[in-house]
Chain A
């Protein structure tokens, strides 16, 4: 079995109003070195197979079809074998 971790990010050119708002909070707290806050999504799940190629294919398709929208988001993922 594999544990998948998917991170979905807004594309660099896409405006991220949430990130901007959170960064205002950072400024209020005095974190003046904090720049370019961007907010994305972290998704984890398990894939029930012992074949890494199958797991990779499934995670990629799941990410492309549902977890991200290619118009505004990119995704990356990692797979970790679990016993």
Chain B
């Protein structure tokens, strides 16, 4: 059975259509937009919180979106084991919501970074990367606030529980400062929760699913979710 993806739309989301297009038109799954003022997740199996600048990024990225009516349903959905993917701004919203630990700070360089980066998959023991056989993925980032921070205890816990899912690396897969685009602690690009049903990542897999774009590494993640979401 194919999963149904629900793509939440906040005021200021700008990757919602890309996510919808990637999962529906390119990968052939069911997909539906979910307006942030609604509470109904419309039978979605997987919720995507897309990238963008929800509420203009005012106050802090994701700080206001996290109180949108739909987020109450998303929180409950995740608590009950539902699959949630937060991409870029969606990741920031998950951090503010507390479904994932830590916080996103301004990039160390103070610059908005928009380029392809290399990610090393740190664990395959989860639905998001279970069916991905490549060790390193090339996926674009586009953000000004992607500098992941958590206190030492939280960070140690994340590492100990294998919750760090993606790290910024060299094309060969080595963790190096020069390949960290934003100053994230431990080169963290993406994490999952303890129950392994919620993933947040700064890079945009939805932007590299269509073969016409010359890179389909992003599709590997969505396909992995589709293959394993019932397990």
Interface residues of A (CB under 8 A from B): 14-15, 17-18, 21, 41, 66-67, 69, 71-72
Shortest CB–CB separation between residue B95 and chain A, in angstroms? 8
Interface residues of B (CB under 8 A from A): 59-60, 63-64, 67, 96, 102-103, 105-110, 149-151, 183
Whether B151 lies near A15 (C-beta < 8 A) is no
Which residue of the partner chain, among A14, A17, A69, contacts B63 with CB atoms under 8 Å?
A69
Whether B149 lies near A71 (C-beta < 8 A) is yes
When A14-B105, A66-B64, A72-B103 are in contact, do A21 and B59 touch as well, CB less than 8 Å?
no
Main secondary structure of the interface of A (DSSP, over half): mixed
Shortest CB–CB separation between residue A18 and chain B, in angstroms? 7
Residues of A within 8 A of B67 (CB): 66
Whether A69 lies near B110 (C-beta < 8 A) is no
The 9 closest A-B pairs by CB, nearest first: A71-B103, A72-B103, A17-B110, A21-B110, A69-B103, A17-B106, A17-B108, A69-B60, A72-B149
Residues of B within 8 A of A67 (CB): 59
Report the Cα distance A66→B58, complex, angstroms. 11
When A14-B149, A17-B110 are in contact, do A72 and B63 touch as well, CB less than 8 Å?
no
Residue of B nearest to A20 (CB): B110
Report the Cα distance A67→B108, complex, angstroms. 23
Whether B108 lies near A69 (C-beta < 8 A) is no
Which residue of the partner chain, among B59, B60, B96, B108, contacts A15 with CB atoms under 8 Å?
B108
What are 7 sample pairs from A and B whose C-beta atoms fall under 8 A apart?
A14-B149, A15-B183, A21-B110, A66-B59, A69-B63, A69-B103, A71-B150
